[in-house]
Amino acid sequence: MHYLYGSRPEMPRRLVATFDSEQQLTAYVRWATLSEHDGVRKFEKGSSLAGYQGYSHASEPLTNDDAAAVDHNPSPSML
């Protein structure tokens, strides 16, 4: 399982989605990213990353967030 986290300045990162593969996760991030300027990203409205300014990912959980409470394998067609 691969874990996608959203981040904002001065806020702890939050788990926003999980994926079965790293390829699915990176394809989703590519789709969801509208722009990046000086390290600050804008993400597609309605995506799991909407409202965040950055992201990170890992193959193991980095927080105590409940993976069952977030979307699993989200895709653009889910909007």
Q: pLDDT (tens digit, 9 = 90+) per residue, 29-73?
A: 999 999 999 989 999 999 999 999 999 999 999 999 999 999 999
pLDDT above 70 (res 27): yes
Number of neighbours of residue 15 by Cβ within 10 angstroms = 20
Give the residue, 77 or 32, on which the prediction is more confident. 32
